[in-house]
Amino acid sequence: MTSAAAMIDIQNVTKTYGTLRPVHALRGIDLSVAAGEYVAIMGPSGSGKSTLMNILGCLDRPTAGRYLLQDRDVSTLSDDQLAEVRNQLIGFVFQTFNLLPRQTALDNVQLPLIYRGIAPAERRRRALDVLARVGLDQWSHHRPNQMSGGQQQRVAIARALVAEPSFLLADEPTGNLDSISGQGVMVLMEQLNNEGITILLVTHDERIAAHARRQIRLLDGLVVKDEPNANPLSAATEMQRLQKVLADANILPEVPQ
């Protein structure tokens, strides 16, 4: 499916690592994502998820094929140009949060705006806004080690959002979290998507993927499924179910999400 309105349009993208014993990580991927979509990219270990994510996130280039990001061909850009595109258009969320440990939540969230040369007062205002949006307005002066894993991931999501990217690229965003904290992140993702943020979520977890409105499955570097999810799991409903399961087992969350 190719459309002029696509935000992301990938055509016949391949990625081969090495030359002596080449590994064909992606064997010809076609993918088109429109603004506002909520897509899960699934597949077993080794199927090419990280490779595809690196290409979608402009961290790496395809071996062959074309990548149009907002109608701009980014498949042949230099490293510097790719860095510029990343900074301008893409918000990353990683399994391990990747926050700066000595910096407060506010400083971590402001970082992308420093790279963009935005003035301090404006940076601070925008960072505080987005921290409020992820429910952390009371935590702006805390450092990562003073926060729960779920809160740290919210800071990372705020950092990803602060520069108003075209889309969020999240790689196993709940992979390092307990069930309630992870579900808190999924509630936030759902809320952000309802506000119009485009989300691409890489996961091997079927329950996490069930929240997305479209599911893409990779196998051996090929797309073997690409379907709308007619009945996405409501993150809020799933949160209530989890809370009940834990309460019935007399397990209390150690810290609020």
Among 50, 70, 166, 191, binds Mg ion (CB under 5 A): 50
Show the binding pattern over residues 29-48: x = contacts ligand ADP (CB under 6 A), - = does not. --------------x-xxxx
Q: Which is nearer to ligand ADP, 17 or 115 (CB)?
A: 17
Residues 164-193 within binding reach of ligand ADP (CB under 6 A): none
Residues binding Mg ion: number (CB under 5 A)? 2
Check binding of 25 to ligand ADP (CB under 6 A). yes
Minimum distance of Mg ion from residue 221's CB (angstroms): 13
Check binding of 19 to ligand ADP (CB under 6 A). no
Minimum distance of ligand ADP from residue 200's CB (angstroms): 14
Q: Which is nearer to ligand ADP, 25 or 99 (CB)?
A: 25
Instruction: Considering only the C-alpha atoms of the chain, give the largest distance between any 2 of them, rounded to a whole number of Å.
Output: 56
Minimum distance of ligand ADP from residue 21's CB (angstroms): 9
Check binding of 21 to ligand ADP (CB under 6 A). no
| Chain residues in the site for ligand ADP (CB under 6 A) | 17-18, 23, 25, 43, 45-51
